[in-house]
Amino acid sequence: MARKRHEDALATREQLLDAAERVFRRRGVGHTSLAEVADEAGVTRGAIYWHFKDKADLFQALVQRVEMPINAAMEEMSRASAADPLGAVRSLAVHALQGLAGCRRTQAVFDVVFLRCEYTEELAPVRARQLEDRKDCLRRCEAAFEQAIAKRQLPADTDARVAAQGLYAFVTGLMRTWVETPGRFDLGAVAPPLVDVFIAGLKTDPPRRAPAPRKPAAKRVRRPQAA
């Protein structure tokens, strides 16, 4: 094939990512040869090796295509959490779930990420990035919960960290179970009430911080509340 213009090359790149999405989903990342991806995209392996270093690089690019909107939503939460922290967290969780339910590409990528790939050494960079994203999300949620405590939206001795870990696990668990069997329930519909279950539970019976260890005759120290 002949040389193309720059924009055509970018289109080829997108086609490769689209093709990889489909093939990875069908056959799994590890079981997919780059030849299959090339076939699906209507090119040869040469094109893949031109645009990407190897399969891991291709996969990473694939994931990054859908990460942006979620990160934007997290920024939004951090901004909105000054006024109504609990509402901001709720909004983020619901938005993330409905974003998955409503976007085909996100569904495909999450399907691959959750079910069709092995996190071994060759995908270490992808995995490291995921864990970094998770850490960031947990940090933000924990901060929001701390603000919620300060604003008396949550009990004073709520363990914000554990609460954040719980919410994260809940949301990602819903994502995974839904991706496993998309037909079984309407994620977009159940997301708001289910997130509300967790929020309501936090209000009435949250995980409590371990009380300050009371040694005999040691004075009790109140931890300063973050503002």
Closer Cβ to a copy of itself, 149 or 163, answer by number = 163
Give the 3-state secondary structure of residue 155: coil
- Bridge partners of residue 208, in order along the sequence: 158
Closer Cβ to DNA, 4 or 127, answer by number = 4
Q: Minimum distance from CB of 160 to DNA (Å)? A: 44
Residue with tokens 């893949």: 48
Angle, vertex CA 20, rays to CA 61 and CA 29, nearest 5 = 90
Partner whose binding site includes residue 150, from DNA, a copy of itself, none (CB under 5 to 8 Å by kind): none
- Alpha-carbon distance of 208 to 128, in angstroms, equals 30
Q: Minimum distance from CB of 3 to a copy of itself (Å)? A: 33
CB 112 within 8 A of CB 25: yes
The two tokens of residue 208 are 């409590």
Partner whose binding site includes residue 202, from DNA, a copy of itself, none (CB under 5 to 8 Å by kind): a copy of itself
Q: Minimum distance from CB of 182 to a copy of itself (Å)? A: 13
Partner whose binding site includes residue 50, from DNA, a copy of itself, none (CB under 5 to 8 Å by kind): DNA
Q: Minimum distance from CB of 153 to a copy of itself (Å)? A: 14
Binding footprint of DNA on the chain (CB under 7 A): 1-6, 8-9, 12-13, 32-36, 38, 43-47, 49-51, 54-55
Residue 208 has phi, psi (to 5 degrees) of -100, 145
Partner whose binding site includes residue 51, from a copy of itself, DNA, none (CB under 5 to 8 Å by kind): DNA
Q: Roughly what angle, to the nearest 10 degrees, separates helices 124-150 and 160-180?
A: 130
Q: Minimum distance from CB of 126 to DNA (Å)? A: 15
Partner whose binding site includes residue 4, from DNA, a copy of itself, none (CB under 5 to 8 Å by kind): DNA
Partner whose binding site includes residue 166, from DNA, a copy of itself, none (CB under 5 to 8 Å by kind): a copy of itself
Closer Cβ to DNA, 32 or 81, answer by number = 32
Q: Minimum distance from CB of 64 to DNA (Å)? A: 19
**Residues of the chain by 3-state class (helix, strand, coil), percent to 5:** 70, 0, 30
CB 154 within 8 A of CB 173: no
- Alpha-carbon distance of 72 to 57, in angstroms, equals 23
- How many residues does this entry show for the chain? 227
Binding footprint of a copy of itself on the chain (CB under 8 A): 26-31, 66, 68-70, 73, 98-100, 102-103, 106, 115-122, 131, 134, 159, 162-163, 165-166, 168-174, 176-178, 180-181, 185, 188-190, 193-194, 196-208, 220, 222-227
Q: Contacts by 47-50 with C-beta closer than 8 Å and gap 24+? A: 47/12, 47/16, 48/16
